[in-house]
Structure 1
Amino acid sequence: MDAKQEISMAAIRSNHDGFGNETDKLEAKKRLGLRLKRARLDMNLKQEELADLMGISQAVVSNIENGLTTIDVPNLPLWATALNKPIMYFYEDESADWQQRAMDILRMFPENQIEFVLHMLKSMALSMHNLKG
């Protein structure tokens, strides 16, 4: 079996291994699927295009993105490479994800403007808080 067939088989296999809560596993599959979809969209790829890159069917990509199937850990490097993401991208904590995105945005500004941007964000947050309450 070549690497492309292994990816396909791994993507089709369920994540049931007899350990852990099935609800947790379903949630993990959904999170992984959402991250895969986000990475695909970041690359401006359609499901069909990603499937072609991976040598699998569009249905497999769809099933993974919808949390119906998952990717085995040994195959993550292939997916990460295809999507130009580090392997940990697929498993990072969601709360860390928004923090990382915020840091990435801040890094777009010249260093001498960071304090100004942070001040504006704080002002916006306070204004929004005052509107709510």
Structure 2
Amino acid sequence: MKSEDFDKCRQFLEKAIEISTDNGELLKVYLRLIELKSEYDKETDKAWIEKEIREAEFNTQYQTAVHTNNTDLDKAYHTNNTNYGMAVSQQQGENYRHYQTQVHGTAQSAMQHGVWPPQVGHGGV
């Protein structure tokens, strides 16, 4: 029962009891009205509390999912960055090794064909 309806009924019964003070039936109806309002309020409060509990449980589940997703995202981000850094380092090492091999090959070829060391008076220094 809504509070406005309850107040209207209560006020009506209180006036009727004032007018007919010897009518016991009005008093019984008044008491029953109070009992019904108490039961209604108790059920309403119970439903409200249950709703609050469901909302809190949902919020907890939501926050847990968000935290888990953020953690997984952070782990993937750091794994990708680590893998990228390792790949870059490995590629730089391979590039340097290739460069050194080319330099060695060039020097080896120059020495085999008599270009190195330069000869004085033969177009060298």
Normalized against structure 1, the TM-score is what? 0.22
Query: Which structure's CA Rg is the greater one?
Result: 2
Q: Which has the higher contact order (CA 8 A, sep 6+)?
A: 1
Indicate the structure with greater helix content: 2
